[in-house]
Amino acid sequence: MNNNEDSESVSSRWLTKIALTVFFATLTAAGAYIAFPIGPIPISMQNLFILLSGLVLGPVMGSAAVGIYLIAGILNFPVFALGGGGIARFAGPAGGYFVGYLLAAFTAGLIVGSPKDDASAAAFQKRIIIAEIAGLLVSYVPGLIWFKIRMNIDWTKTFLTGFVPFIIGDTIKGIVAVLIASRLRKIVADFLYDRNNR
């Protein structure tokens, strides 16, 4: 392969990475519109796509997808749950969960690795389950801390309001993410990497 072909291959791969990153950011924004207001923090589908961003794209691209989503929200695009936007949302009761989203994608992606790193099916399935659980749990840490501070309530009420109503739904979303992430990772790997030259 000559230099021109090498350059075209690198450029094509970068364009594909950018397109995939923007695509997952868009999916996350779309998921925010599937939301149910049950209190200060609505139940929504955006964290399903946030987990998928990390599980499918890995830590760097997955975090970048969530970062694009958050920046769009800060710039007042209506991408947050129930169609809201604006930096003021970070000061609200759900503000800490936005930080948690970034941590979730990075943590899940870091544990599961890049799509080109997939090992045997059994080892990968174990790793992706651990990644999903860790990503889900770490998303709650800044969310609960900020929720407690913002609402000025004790830890018991914080968990009853900011954790308990969401854990069953988030567990189901996590299972869905694990079930479809393996297939999506194979598709992404085919787009991004020349399997013959690994």
Banded model confidence at residue 4, pLDDT cuts 50, 70, 90: low
pLDDT in the model for residue 123: 66
Radius of gyration of the chain (CA): 18
Banded model confidence at residue 120, pLDDT cuts 50, 70, 90: low
pLDDT in the model for residue 35: 75
pLDDT in the model for residue 131: 94
Rounded Cα gap, residues 176 and 134, in angstroms = 15
How do residues 159-182 score in pLDDT, each as one tens digit? Answer: 999 999 888 889 999 899 988 988
Residue found by looking up tokens 């309530």 in the block: 153
Residue found by looking up tokens 């209190």 in the block: 39
Q: Are 24 and 52 in contact (CB under 8 A)?
A: yes
Does the pLDDT at position 118 exceed 80?
A: no
Task: Supply the range of the domain harboring residue 118.
Answer: 3-197
pLDDT in the model for residue 121: 61
Instruction: Count the domains in the chain.
Output: 1
Query: Domain of 55: which CATH number?
Result: 1.10.1760.20
Does the pLDDT at position 37 exceed 70?
A: yes
Does the pLDDT at position 1 exceed 60?
A: no
Rounded Cα gap, residues 31 and 80, in angstroms = 9
Rounded Cα gap, residues 125 and 112, in angstroms = 9
Rounded Cα gap, residues 159 and 171, in angstroms = 16
pLDDT in the model for residue 195: 45
How do residues 61-85 score in pLDDT, each as one tens digit? Answer: 999 999 999 999 999 999 988 778 8
